[in-house]
Amino acid sequence: MHVIQNLFTYRYQGKTTVTIGNFDGVHLGHQHLIRHVVEDARAHGRVPAVVTFQPHPRLVLHPGERMAYISSWEERLALLEAVGVEVVAVVRFNLQVAQMAARTFTQELVSRLGMESLWVGPDFALGRNREGTVDRLRELGQEQGFSVHVVPPFLLDGEPVRSNYIRELVGEKGDVRRAARLLGRYFTLSGIVIHGDGRGAQLGVPTANLAFAPNRLIPANGVYATWVYLNGERWPGATNVGYRPTVAGSNPTRTVETHIIGLQRNLYYRALRLEFVERLREERRFDSVSALKAQIREDVAEAARILALEGCCDEETSSL
């Protein structure tokens, strides 16, 4: 797959079928739209292309707002490639781009990306003040030489699949099982193992503490059954997200720490990938360390039980 790091300084040599969006998470709704792009491109001898934005426009237009990404940039590229995208063109979003007229933006896509066909959802709009509605894009297409096609939204259980809802499910509710249905795979976090305070080992359950990019979506506090990937091998795990209120002391920090079931190895500075399968319980404070130890043993056993059942039939939901 070819990645154009800055569309406005590049000229692609070829003809493309294009869709535009952030595609954070590349969920089932995104995949539904992109399949139409890929099919149209192949039918007409064009290249399927995605135009996306860095940073997310919301972070530029609302600078005080925090937003967590469902997928890292590298994960997003891999997911887009897996569904058939051959070109990803990045628009470096800033206030100048935000003020760009729809006519100017589409002309850039035609001249720089060879766009001959544009596929969007029914509520799509681009350009200054969202002036580039579907009807306006069709007018511009007649002037500039590209066709416009509208894809109905993908519905799951009668509701459209949206990135904001997935962020709510994962980050606020911890409902990673429901989120996996919308994503078409498990919600995933990749990080580097860093030094912790050794508390897990003291409790008899050594854990790997993970560091992530600060803008990544982290599941709501609680304990989760997770698949853990290390050097291509998959291990069952129990992962705690939160402040460890029973043992953290007066100045707690939020951590993500994983006990890998059946593996005892020095993992410092190694890369791990976690797939969140199911939330076992909320985080809570225990009356004693012994009560916490007993609960941890139950958590590990429950995670192992769930993952043993999941392992027989999860090939299609496993992330890339």
Which CATH number goes with the domain that contains 272?
2.40.30.30
Whether the CB-CB separation of 258 and 207 falls below 8 Å is answered with yes
Phi, psi of 44 (to 5 degrees): -120, 15
In a domain, 320, yes or no: no
In a domain, 317, yes or no: no
151 and 51 share a domain? yes
207 and 89 share a domain? no
Q: What pLDDT was estimated at residue 295?
A: 86
230 and 285 share a domain? yes
Task: Give the H/E segment covering residue 209.
Answer: strand 208-211
**Which residue matches tokens 């990306």?**
113
Beta strands 222-230 and 233-242, pairing class: antiparallel
Residue 318 banded pLDDT, cuts 50, 70, 90: very low
217 and 270 share a domain? yes
**d(Cα 223, Cα 300) in Å, to the nearest integer?**
10
50 and 112 share a domain? yes
| Domain boundary residue, one of 140, 156, 172 | 156
pLDDT one-digit tens code per residue, 209-247: 999 988 999 999 999 999 999 999 999 999 999 987 666
250 pLDDT higher than 60: no
Task: Give the H/E segment covering residue 194.
Answer: strand 187-194
106 and 218 share a domain? no
Instruction: Calculate the CA 273 to chain-centre distance.
Output: 13
| Domain boundary residue, one of 132, 156, 180 | 156
Range of 180-184, 250-254, 296-300 with top mean pLDDT: 180-184
How much is the average pLDDT of 26-47? 98
Whole domain around residue 37: which residue ranges?
Answer: 2-156
- CA 313 to each of CA 239, 257, 316: distance values in angstroms, whole numbers, following the listed order: 21, 26, 8
| Domain boundary residue, one of 125, 156, 187 | 156
Whether the CB-CB separation of 225 and 258 falls below 8 Å is answered with no
